[in-house]
Each structure stands twice: as C-alpha cells, then as structure tokens.
Structure 1
Amino acid sequence: MATPLTADDLLRALREEGLTVHEVRDWRHHNRNTKGQWGPMHGVMIHHTVTEGTDYSVGLCYDGHPDLPGPLCHGVIDKKGEVHLVGNGRANHAGLGDRDVLEAVINEDAELPPDDAADTDGNRHFYGFECINLGDGEDPWPEAQKTAIAKVSAAICRAHKWTERSVIGHKEWQPGKVDPRGFAMDGMREAIKRRLADAPEGPEGPVSSEEPEGDGRPVPPKPQHPPYEPFPGSGFFHAGTHSPVITAMGERLVAEGCGHYEEGPGPEWTEADRTSYASWQRKLGFRGKDADGVPGQVSWERLRVPNS
C-alpha cells in the first residue's frame, strides 16, 4: 500500500533507472480521476498493445477510443525500449480483476492464485504500462524492450520499496486476458529481482518532450550543480555517519514541523534524526515499514534538502 507517485517522482524514478523517457502532451494532468478513486497503490501491471508503430500506439494509448477513453495506461514501452508517458492518475488499463490476486500482490506472495473472478477495480491500484506488440505470438520482443519492462518495473518498485512480486501481467489479473503474450511473467519477475539487487544505472540522458518547446526563444542553461542534495542511499543513514548533509536534512525536518530534537540538529546521525524523519514519512502518508525513519528516495526528494 502506498501513496501514488507524483508526476515528477515517477519521471525521476524512471530516468534514474537508466531509461529514455518522452513526455507526451499534457500527460501530467491526463487521467480518469473524475470516474473513480486513484490509490492506494499496490503494484505494476504489464500489457501488450495489439498494435504496431510507435506514433500510432502512443496516440491510441493517450486518446483511447470511443468505447474506452484514454489514457489507456501510464506509459508506453516501444520496441527500442524507450518509454512514452501518457497519463498520471487513474487510467483505463486494468479493469475488473480478481480480489484474491490483489491480496497476493499486496502480501507479495511467492505464487499468484488463479484469476477466476472479476470483482475488484484494478485501475485504482495498479500502474499500467503498455508494450508495443501485436500479441499474436509471432511479433518479436526485442531485448531492449524486455530490458525496459524490467527497468520500468524496478524503478517503481524501488520508489515504493516493493519487491518483484508486486509486478504482474494483465493475464494474471483479469479472466480471459492473454497479455503480455510472448514472454513468461515469472521470467520477467526474475529479471526485475536481479535489477533490484543492484543500484540503479543513473540517468540515460535528458528527458525529451513530444510537444514543441514554444516560442523558439533560447532555453536558459541548467545550473551546473543541483540545488538539492541527491539521495545518498538508505545505507548512508546509520550510526556513525557524520556529514553536513545530516545537518541540512534535520533543518529541513524542523522547517516542516517534523523535528524531534532536544539539541541540534547536528551532523551525526542519531535516534532523534530517525524519529524526526519517521514523522516526515508519516506526514507524506507512508505507514508501517515505509515510515521507519530511514530515508527513502521518494521522501528524500520531497524533503528538498539544500545542497551541502
């Protein structure tokens, strides 16, 4: 269970996993939130488009069709392994599926039960990614595309501190569905597991937009150094760590009304830092192990710790 990622958080997570990401039109505000609830989030669902051609497939997933308005997913993964973001919020991709499957995903069970019922709203709880493939069992799945599926899934799992068991195929959710057809989801989950065991690759390159820049005036250069401290990794925060980053973090926690310091904050990681950070995680809506006081990437980036 997790609060949905913001558009910025999703984009950042995908880029840090080493993906090339394209922003399509007004994807940040394109959703079906007026038709139903969005969140809490429980997993990632993989589909195939039953189409060919990147431009056509991306356009269809953004706009939908008369019987099923778009967005039809959150992102489209093309044959080159590039991601096209088309929605942010509730999307028409999962439909009604099996409640027992949802419970297994929430619990991250080793095995999924049969999807023999359609009684639960999947659009509310799953991020959806459509992969360009005809789904006829003959259209190939390039390695670059399958790698991108693993990267997309790993990026979201990292952001929510999920394992690979939070990733399923449409065919494992809704009775009668066969997508994605052409590779085994168990094998894909193994690939995701291996990727999660390593650090993310880092940004592939600048994010591109599939919309014109505007009036053609020069774009100001980006600053050489980011204004905020990049996430140093959860392993950085342990007894004995001594850094000005810890002081800057504590000052931001105090500013957010989450400080639990009798003295300080100071440069050494202490129990007061952990308690204060747990308060910040709860303020963001995290619960349970997601609010243990050890910084994670999503909560860190939202805290905006000044560069030290």
Structure 2
Amino acid sequence: MAAPLTADRLLQALRAEGVRVVEVGNWRTHNRNQKGAWGPANGSIVHHTVTKGTASTVAMVRDGYASLPGPLCHGMIAKDGRVHLVGWGRTNHAGGGDPKVLDQVVAESYSSRPTPPTKGNSNGVDGNAHFYGWECENLGDGKDPWPTAQYDAIVRVQAALCRAHKWSAKSVIGHREWSADKVDPRGIDMPGLRADVAERLKHPANWNPNEEDPMAGITKKDIFDAVWKTDALAGPTDAGDHGTNPTWQAQSILKDMQARIRSMDRRMTAQTAAITALAGQVGTGADTATIVAAVEAAIEHAVIDLNMHTKET
C-alpha cells in the first residue's frame, strides 16, 4: 500500500523513463475526489478506448460523456506514443472489480496472471480508489494495431509507476483482469506486457533498448586485431625509415615512435653535457665554432650509442 504520487512526482517519474508527456489543461486538479476515496495506490490498470483519432479521444477521456463524467483516466496513450495527462486523483476508469484480484495485486502473489475475476462493475470493490488508469487509443476490435511507439510508451508508463513505488511488474493489470465485465485491452498480451515492464525495471530509467549498441558483438580479440593487426593509413615517411618497412602497422608505428623519443632524450642529454662542459671554458678563448663542433660530436656519439642498443634489442 502506498500514498498516490503527487502530480509533480508523476511528471518526474514519467520523464525520467523517457515518456513524451502532453499536459492537458488543469489536469493536476481535474478529478472525482468529491465522489470517493483516492488511495491507497495498489497498482495500475491498462485500458483501450474504442475510439479513433487522438484529439477526439483526449477530449472524451478528459470530459467523459452523459452517463459517465470525466476524467475517465489519468493519462491517454496515443498511437504516436505521446501520453496526454488529463486528470490526477480519483478518476472514472476502473469501476468495480474482484476483491481477490486486488488482494493478489497488493501481495504480487499470482503467477503469470491473476485469478480470472468473477465480480464486475455492479458487485465488485471500488477500483477507482486503488488503481492508476491509462486509456490507450485503440478501436478494441482485435484488428486495430498497436504501433511500436504506443506499446513502448505503455511499457515505460507502467515501469515509471512501478519504479516510483518500488513495485514489481505484477502491480500492472489489464481491465479484463480486474473486472468480469470487461475485455480490454484487447490485442495486448498482459503477461507479455508485464514481462517487458519487468525487463525495463532491471535497467536504469533512461534505458533505451531500441538504440543500437555500437559495441554489440565485438570481442576482445576483435579489438586486439583492430589495434595491432590492421595496416595503418599512413606511417612514417621521412628518410629515417629508408623504405625498410613498406607496410606500417600500429605496433611498428609505436615502436618507431618509442625509438624516436629515446633518440631525442639522448640528444638532449648530450647537448646538456656538452654545454655544461663548455661553460667551464668561458673566458678561455673558446669561440662559437668550437662550441658547435663539440655539441655536434656529443650528439653523434649519443645517436651511434642508441642505434647499437636498438639493434641489440
């Protein structure tokens, strides 16, 4: 059992789950609270609208009709996946249902589906007090399709509520699983929907299974081969390679870079040593040519020494 979410908390949960929300009018205060209890919240019910056309469907679930005043749900999930919030609080969506089903949802104790209901709108317990309600735009004839965007939104909405309340997917049921009078949502397999909600709950709220994983199927060997065995687009081309390595690979380029860095280190060390030695000759008549010759000789010696050590390794 739990207190219903606030309107702000609902928005936060839906948006975190990646739901595209449309706020309709004064939905935050549009409800039937004056007619009965709202809470404790025990689960969420999925419906179909038996309508066609998003705008007219939104108007219908918000305002209701002569025999049943609105709001008729908390949100309407359109064919394009957008969720239109039309009310918050008690709404006319669940009606009467089987108390055994309510107990099973509260305890999350059933297997793949709750016990088939034997009570309905006229003789059941008040579901409007206990369930969030989500009408989904569909003719309900078993032929009208459920587009991927719409089905994905249904899963995300239910996962958002379950995540916020720390429920499992068994807190999500179809109207037909609640009331013996109902058949909706026709065309949606509720155990399958719960399985998809459960899978989503294993991941962070921003999980998007439709995004292709760029590393999917790539093994450590694939990465090794790509780095170390693939020919480079271009390798060293200065006179230093002398054409001895026509096929440059990542490994050979790295070795060449290492040798060049070692050569630079040797040269710098030789320069420092030569200049230090010559510094002591300041005032003894050493001219510029003498200093340059000494530095060049030191560098040449260092390079020869480096090449000898490189060949040995």
* TM-score between both structures, scaled by the size of structure 1: 0.65
Residue matched to 2:73: 73
Q: Which amino acid aligns with 1:116?
A: T
Distance 1:66 1:199 in 2: 43
Residue matched to 2:27: 27
1:113 is matched with which residue: 102, 112, 115? 115
Q: Which amino acid aligns with 1:127?
A: Y
2:139 partner SS: coil
Distance 1:146 1:121 in 2: 27
Counterpart contact for 1:2–1:160, Cα < 8 Å: yes
1:114 partner SS: coil
2:149 is matched with which residue: 123, 130, 144? 144
CA gap of 1:136–1:76, structure 2 versus 1, over 3 A, is same
Aligned identity (percent) is 58
1:27 partner SS: coil
Higher relative contact order by CA 8 Å / sep ≥ 6: 1 or 2? Answer: 1
1:113 partner SS: coil
Q: Which amino acid aligns with 2:170?
A: R
User: After superposition, what is the alpha-carbon deviation per residue over 1:208-258, rounded to whole angstroms, capped at 9, x for unaligned?
Assistant: xxxxxxxxxxxxxxxxxxxxxxxxxxxxxxxxxxxxxxxxxxxxxxxxxxx
1:56 partner SS: helix
Residue matched to 1:84: 84
- The offset of 1:24, in angstroms, is 0.2
Residue ranges of structure 2 left out of the alignment (5+ in a row)? 209-313
Q: Which amino acid aligns with 1:149?
A: I
Q: Which amino acid aligns with 2:167?
A: W
- The offset of 1:110, in angstroms, is 3.0
Q: Which has the larger radius of gyration?
A: 2
CA gap of 1:89–1:202, structure 2 versus 1, over 3 A, is farther
User: After superposition, what is the alpha-carbon deviation per residue over 1:246-289, rounded to whole angstroms, capped at 9, x for unaligned?
Assistant: xxxxxxxxxxxxxxxxxxxxxxxxxxxxxxxxxxxxxxxxxxxx
- The offset of 1:202, in angstroms, is 7.5
Q: Where does structure 1 differ by over 4 angstroms across 4 or more consecutive aligned residues?
A: none
Counterpart contact for 1:41–1:124, Cα < 8 Å: yes
Residue matched to 2:192: 187
Distance 1:17 1:185 in 2: 20
- The offset of 1:113, in angstroms, is 1.0
Counterpart contact for 1:16–1:202, Cα < 8 Å: no
Residue ranges of structure 1 left out of the alignment (5+ in a row)? 204-308
Number of aligned residue pairs: give it. 203
1:22 partner SS: strand
* TM-score between both structures, scaled by the size of structure 2: 0.64
Distance 2:44 2:193 in 1: 12
Q: Which amino acid aligns with 1:7?
A: A
Residue matched to 1:54: 54
The structure richer in helix per residue is: 2
**Map 1:167-186 → 2, pairs under 5 A:** 167-186=172-191
2:90 partner SS: coil
